[in-house]
Amino acid sequence: MADLGGTYHLGGELPVTRMGYGAMQLAGPGVWGPPKDHDTAVAVLREAVERGVTHLDTSDYYGPHTVNALIKEALHPYPESLVIVTKVGARRSEDKGWPAALSAADLTEAVHDNLRNLGVDALDVVNLRLSNAALDYPVPMSLAEPFGVLAELREQGLIRHLGVSHVSAEQLDEAKAIAPVVCVQNQYNLAHRESDDLVDKCAAEGIAFVPYFPLGGFSPLQSGLLDDCAARVGATPMQVALAWLLQRSPSMLLIPGTSSPAHLRENLAAASLELPPDVLADLDRIGAA
Protein backbone atom coordinates (compact mmCIF):
# COMPACT_ATOMS: atom_id res chain seq x y z
CA MET A 1 0.00 0.00 0.00
CA ALA A 2 1.29 3.46 -0.88
CA ASP A 3 1.84 5.93 1.91
CA LEU A 4 -0.68 8.27 0.25
CA GLY A 5 1.43 11.33 1.02
CA GLY A 6 1.29 11.02 4.78
CA THR A 7 -1.39 12.36 7.11
CA TYR A 8 -2.83 15.82 7.68
CA HIS A 9 -5.14 16.71 10.56
CA LEU A 10 -8.13 18.76 9.41
CA GLY A 11 -8.97 21.25 12.10
CA GLY A 12 -6.21 19.72 14.17
CA GLU A 13 -8.34 16.65 14.93
CA LEU A 14 -9.49 14.79 11.81
CA PRO A 15 -6.57 12.78 10.36
CA VAL A 16 -6.81 12.31 6.59
CA THR A 17 -4.49 10.93 3.96
CA ARG A 18 -3.02 13.74 1.87
CA MET A 19 -3.93 11.78 -1.24
CA GLY A 20 -7.70 11.43 -1.19
CA TYR A 21 -10.41 10.72 -3.71
CA GLY A 22 -13.00 12.98 -5.36
CA ALA A 23 -16.28 11.29 -6.28
CA MET A 24 -17.63 13.74 -8.88
CA GLN A 25 -16.69 11.59 -11.87
CA LEU A 26 -18.82 8.72 -10.60
CA ALA A 27 -21.95 10.47 -11.86
CA GLY A 28 -23.08 10.15 -15.45
CA PRO A 29 -21.98 12.45 -18.30
CA GLY A 30 -22.10 16.10 -17.31
CA VAL A 31 -22.10 15.03 -13.64
CA TRP A 32 -25.74 14.13 -14.22
CA GLY A 33 -27.59 10.95 -13.38
CA PRO A 34 -26.26 7.56 -12.36
CA PRO A 35 -22.85 6.20 -13.36
CA LYS A 36 -22.33 4.57 -16.74
CA ASP A 37 -21.17 1.42 -14.94
CA HIS A 38 -22.71 1.06 -11.50
CA ASP A 39 -20.67 -1.95 -10.40
CA THR A 40 -17.37 -0.37 -11.43
CA ALA A 41 -18.27 2.83 -9.57
CA VAL A 42 -18.94 0.83 -6.40
CA ALA A 43 -15.68 -1.06 -6.92
CA VAL A 44 -13.67 2.19 -7.29
CA LEU A 45 -15.05 3.57 -4.02
CA ARG A 46 -14.35 0.35 -2.15
CA GLU A 47 -10.86 0.00 -3.58
CA ALA A 48 -9.97 3.58 -2.64
CA VAL A 49 -10.85 2.87 0.98
CA GLU A 50 -9.20 -0.56 0.92
CA ARG A 51 -5.99 1.08 -0.29
CA GLY A 52 -6.02 3.41 2.69
CA VAL A 53 -7.73 6.58 1.44
CA THR A 54 -9.41 8.37 4.36
CA HIS A 55 -10.40 11.63 2.61
CA LEU A 56 -13.45 11.36 0.36
CA ASP A 57 -14.81 14.46 -1.38
CA THR A 58 -18.38 14.67 -2.66
CA SER A 59 -21.51 16.81 -2.94
CA ASP A 60 -25.19 16.03 -3.02
CA TYR A 61 -25.52 18.11 -6.18
CA TYR A 62 -23.38 15.58 -8.03
CA GLY A 63 -26.03 13.69 -9.97
CA PRO A 64 -27.87 15.26 -8.16
CA HIS A 65 -28.13 12.86 -5.21
CA THR A 66 -26.85 9.83 -7.12
CA VAL A 67 -23.19 10.05 -6.07
CA ASN A 68 -23.95 10.31 -2.37
CA ALA A 69 -26.39 7.42 -2.68
CA LEU A 70 -23.64 5.43 -4.38
CA ILE A 71 -21.16 6.26 -1.58
CA LYS A 72 -23.68 5.07 0.98
CA GLU A 73 -24.32 1.85 -0.95
CA ALA A 74 -20.62 1.11 -1.37
CA LEU A 75 -19.21 2.11 2.01
CA HIS A 76 -21.92 2.35 4.69
CA PRO A 77 -21.47 1.65 7.57
CA TYR A 78 -18.41 3.85 7.11
CA PRO A 79 -15.00 2.99 8.52
CA GLU A 80 -14.26 5.09 11.58
CA SER A 81 -11.18 6.48 9.84
CA LEU A 82 -13.08 7.77 6.77
CA VAL A 83 -13.66 11.54 6.56
CA ILE A 84 -16.33 12.57 4.06
CA VAL A 85 -16.14 16.19 2.90
CA THR A 86 -19.11 17.65 1.05
CA LYS A 87 -20.03 21.04 -0.36
CA VAL A 88 -23.11 23.21 -0.64
CA GLY A 89 -23.92 26.49 -2.37
CA ALA A 90 -25.16 25.29 -5.75
CA ARG A 91 -27.95 23.14 -7.10
CA ARG A 92 -28.67 21.39 -10.40
CA SER A 93 -31.24 22.80 -12.79
CA GLU A 94 -33.30 20.84 -15.30
CA ASP A 95 -31.00 22.01 -18.10
CA LYS A 96 -28.10 20.41 -16.17
CA GLY A 97 -26.77 23.81 -15.09
CA TRP A 98 -25.19 24.73 -11.76
CA PRO A 99 -27.04 27.81 -10.44
CA ALA A 100 -26.00 29.25 -7.11
CA ALA A 101 -28.10 28.23 -4.10
CA LEU A 102 -26.94 30.40 -1.21
CA SER A 103 -30.11 31.34 0.63
CA ALA A 104 -30.64 30.10 4.18
CA ALA A 105 -33.36 27.75 2.96
CA ASP A 106 -31.20 26.41 0.12
CA LEU A 107 -28.21 25.77 2.38
CA THR A 108 -30.27 24.14 5.12
CA GLU A 109 -31.98 21.89 2.60
CA ALA A 110 -28.63 20.96 1.06
CA VAL A 111 -27.16 20.00 4.42
CA HIS A 112 -30.16 17.79 5.19
CA ASP A 113 -29.98 16.24 1.71
CA ASN A 114 -26.34 15.31 2.35
CA LEU A 115 -27.15 13.90 5.77
CA ARG A 116 -29.99 11.77 4.42
CA ASN A 117 -28.31 10.50 1.26
CA LEU A 118 -25.00 9.74 2.98
CA GLY A 119 -26.81 8.13 5.90
CA VAL A 120 -25.08 10.04 8.70
CA ASP A 121 -26.18 12.07 11.72
CA ALA A 122 -23.51 14.75 11.24
CA LEU A 123 -21.34 15.78 8.31
CA ASP A 124 -17.57 15.71 8.89
CA VAL A 125 -16.79 18.80 6.79
CA VAL A 126 -19.02 21.07 4.72
CA ASN A 127 -17.53 23.54 2.26
CA LEU A 128 -19.43 26.67 1.29
CA ARG A 129 -19.04 26.88 -2.47
CA LEU A 130 -19.43 30.46 -3.67
CA SER A 131 -19.51 29.68 -7.37
CA ASN A 132 -18.98 27.01 -9.93
CA ALA A 133 -15.68 27.90 -11.55
CA ALA A 134 -16.38 25.87 -14.69
CA LEU A 135 -19.36 28.10 -15.49
CA ASP A 136 -17.84 31.26 -14.00
CA TYR A 137 -20.69 32.37 -11.75
CA PRO A 138 -19.99 35.69 -10.05
CA VAL A 139 -18.50 35.42 -6.58
CA PRO A 140 -20.41 37.38 -3.93
CA MET A 141 -18.46 40.21 -2.34
CA SER A 142 -19.39 38.95 1.11
CA LEU A 143 -19.90 35.39 2.32
CA ALA A 144 -21.02 36.45 5.81
CA GLU A 145 -24.68 35.57 5.39
CA PRO A 146 -24.38 32.08 3.85
CA PHE A 147 -21.39 31.12 5.98
CA GLY A 148 -23.29 32.28 9.03
CA VAL A 149 -26.08 29.84 8.14
CA LEU A 150 -23.60 26.96 8.06
CA ALA A 151 -22.04 28.14 11.32
CA GLU A 152 -25.48 27.90 12.93
CA LEU A 153 -25.96 24.37 11.59
CA ARG A 154 -22.55 23.54 13.02
CA GLU A 155 -23.67 24.83 16.40
CA GLN A 156 -26.69 22.53 16.12
CA GLY A 157 -24.35 19.54 15.74
CA LEU A 158 -25.24 18.77 12.11
CA ILE A 159 -21.75 19.73 10.87
CA ARG A 160 -18.42 19.10 12.59
CA HIS A 161 -16.15 21.39 10.56
CA LEU A 162 -16.49 24.09 7.91
CA GLY A 163 -14.55 25.01 4.80
CA VAL A 164 -14.86 27.45 1.91
CA SER A 165 -14.47 27.06 -1.83
CA HIS A 166 -13.61 29.45 -4.67
CA VAL A 167 -12.66 32.28 -2.35
CA SER A 168 -10.12 35.07 -2.06
CA ALA A 169 -7.82 35.65 0.90
CA GLU A 170 -10.17 38.41 2.06
CA GLN A 171 -13.18 36.12 1.94
CA LEU A 172 -11.27 33.47 3.88
CA ASP A 173 -10.54 36.02 6.60
CA GLU A 174 -14.20 37.04 6.61
CA ALA A 175 -15.25 33.42 7.11
CA LYS A 176 -12.69 32.85 9.87
CA ALA A 177 -14.16 35.76 11.81
CA ILE A 178 -17.49 33.89 11.87
CA ALA A 179 -16.38 30.31 12.57
CA PRO A 180 -13.22 28.17 12.29
CA VAL A 181 -12.25 27.20 8.73
CA VAL A 182 -10.40 23.90 8.26
CA CYS A 183 -9.96 23.87 4.46
CA VAL A 184 -10.07 25.93 1.29
CA GLN A 185 -11.02 24.45 -2.09
CA ASN A 186 -9.91 26.55 -5.05
CA GLN A 187 -8.90 25.66 -8.57
CA TYR A 188 -5.16 25.11 -8.58
CA ASN A 189 -2.76 23.01 -10.62
CA LEU A 190 0.50 23.27 -12.53
CA ALA A 191 -1.01 25.56 -15.14
CA HIS A 192 -3.49 27.52 -13.02
CA ARG A 193 -1.57 29.18 -10.21
CA GLU A 194 -3.81 32.14 -9.37
CA SER A 195 -4.14 30.92 -5.77
CA ASP A 196 -0.37 30.74 -5.14
CA ASP A 197 -0.47 33.31 -2.33
CA LEU A 198 -3.53 31.67 -0.79
CA VAL A 199 -1.76 28.29 -0.76
CA ASP A 200 1.00 29.84 1.35
CA LYS A 201 -1.47 31.69 3.59
CA CYS A 202 -3.32 28.45 4.32
CA ALA A 203 -0.09 26.63 5.19
CA ALA A 204 0.92 29.43 7.57
CA GLU A 205 -2.48 29.40 9.29
CA GLY A 206 -2.91 25.62 9.63
CA ILE A 207 -5.65 25.39 7.01
CA ALA A 208 -5.72 22.64 4.40
CA PHE A 209 -5.65 23.72 0.76
CA VAL A 210 -7.56 21.29 -1.47
CA PRO A 211 -7.17 22.04 -5.19
CA TYR A 212 -10.07 21.09 -7.39
CA PHE A 213 -9.25 20.20 -10.99
CA PRO A 214 -5.72 19.18 -9.89
CA LEU A 215 -5.23 17.62 -13.32
CA GLY A 216 -6.84 20.42 -15.30
CA GLY A 217 -10.49 19.41 -15.01
CA PHE A 218 -12.43 19.75 -18.25
CA SER A 219 -9.25 20.83 -20.06
CA PRO A 220 -6.60 18.28 -19.05
CA LEU A 221 -3.10 19.53 -18.47
CA GLN A 222 -1.02 19.37 -21.63
CA SER A 223 2.59 20.45 -21.82
CA GLY A 224 5.64 19.18 -23.61
CA LEU A 225 7.70 20.19 -20.58
CA LEU A 226 5.44 18.12 -18.32
CA ASP A 227 5.88 15.13 -20.62
CA ASP A 228 9.66 15.60 -20.52
CA CYS A 229 9.71 15.79 -16.72
CA ALA A 230 7.59 12.65 -16.50
CA ALA A 231 9.97 10.75 -18.75
CA ARG A 232 12.91 11.82 -16.59
CA VAL A 233 11.37 10.35 -13.43
CA GLY A 234 9.75 7.30 -15.03
CA ALA A 235 6.17 8.30 -14.29
CA THR A 236 3.09 9.47 -16.17
CA PRO A 237 2.53 13.20 -16.72
CA MET A 238 -0.54 13.13 -14.47
CA GLN A 239 1.40 11.41 -11.68
CA VAL A 240 4.04 14.14 -11.90
CA ALA A 241 1.37 16.84 -11.77
CA LEU A 242 -0.06 15.32 -8.60
CA ALA A 243 3.35 14.81 -7.01
CA TRP A 244 4.19 18.45 -7.71
CA LEU A 245 1.10 19.54 -5.81
CA LEU A 246 1.97 17.39 -2.80
CA GLN A 247 5.47 18.89 -2.71
CA ARG A 248 4.15 22.42 -3.24
CA SER A 249 2.81 22.78 0.32
CA PRO A 250 2.65 20.62 3.46
CA SER A 251 -1.03 21.52 3.89
CA MET A 252 -1.98 20.49 0.33
CA LEU A 253 -4.57 17.71 0.17
CA LEU A 254 -5.43 16.09 -3.17
CA ILE A 255 -8.77 14.68 -4.30
CA PRO A 256 -8.26 13.52 -7.91
CA GLY A 257 -11.32 11.78 -9.26
CA THR A 258 -11.78 8.89 -11.62
CA SER A 259 -14.30 6.21 -12.51
CA SER A 260 -11.54 3.75 -13.47
CA PRO A 261 -9.89 1.34 -11.01
CA ALA A 262 -6.64 1.43 -13.02
CA HIS A 263 -6.59 5.23 -13.02
CA LEU A 264 -7.31 5.22 -9.28
CA ARG A 265 -4.22 3.09 -8.66
CA GLU A 266 -2.12 5.35 -10.89
CA ASN A 267 -3.26 8.43 -8.96
CA LEU A 268 -2.58 6.88 -5.57
CA ALA A 269 0.90 5.79 -6.65
CA ALA A 270 1.75 9.43 -7.37
CA ALA A 271 1.87 10.06 -3.62
CA SER A 272 5.07 8.03 -3.41
CA LEU A 273 6.80 9.94 -6.22
CA GLU A 274 9.58 12.25 -5.00
CA LEU A 275 10.46 14.91 -7.56
CA PRO A 276 14.09 16.09 -7.61
CA PRO A 277 14.89 19.83 -7.47
CA ASP A 278 15.70 20.14 -11.17
CA VAL A 279 12.34 18.64 -12.14
CA LEU A 280 10.51 20.86 -9.67
CA ALA A 281 12.22 23.91 -11.14
CA ASP A 282 11.19 22.92 -14.67
CA LEU A 283 7.62 22.26 -13.58
CA ASP A 284 7.43 25.70 -11.98
CA ARG A 285 8.13 27.15 -15.42
CA ILE A 286 4.78 25.79 -16.64
CA GLY A 287 2.90 27.97 -14.19
CA ALA A 288 5.10 30.95 -14.94
CA ALA A 289 4.28 30.61 -18.61
Q: Is residue 90 domain-resident? A: yes
SS3 26: helix
Q: Is residue 123 domain-resident? A: yes
Q: Residue 289: its pLDDT value, please?
A: 66
pTM of the predicted model, to two decimals?
A: 0.94
Q: Is residue 197 domain-resident? A: yes
Tell me which residue range forms the domain holding 33.
7-285
Q: Residue 222: its pLDDT value, please?
A: 76
SS3 197: helix
Q: Is residue 226 domain-resident? A: yes
CA pair distance 17, 236, nearest whole angstrom: 22
Whether the CB-CB separation of 16 and 52 falls below 8 Å is answered with no
Q: Which value, in Å, is the radius of gyration of the alpha carbons in the chain?
A: 18
62 part of the active site? yes
Q: Is residue 259 domain-resident? A: yes
Q: Is residue 2 domain-resident? A: no
Q: Residue 139: its pLDDT value, please?
A: 53
CATH number of the domain that 90 lies in?
3.20.20.100
Express each pLDDT in 251-285 by its tens digit.
Answer: 999 999 999 999 999 999 999 999 999 999 999 98
Whether the CB-CB separation of 185 and 166 falls below 8 Å is answered with yes
Q: Residue 2: its pLDDT value, please?
A: 58
Q: Is residue 1 domain-resident? A: no
Other CB atoms within 10 A of residue 38 CB: 14
Whether the CB-CB separation of 34 and 66 falls below 8 Å is answered with yes
Q: Is residue 24 domain-resident? A: yes
pLDDT per 10-residue tile (average), the chain, 289 residues = 86 96 97 97 98 98 97 98 97 94 97 98 97 49 93 98 96 97 96 94 98 80 88 96 97 97 97 96 84
Q: Which residue among the candidates 21, 61, 62, 212 is catalytic per the annotation? A: 62
Q: Residue 279: its pLDDT value, please?
A: 96
| Domains of the chain: total | 1
CA pair distance 268, 21, nearest whole angstrom: 9
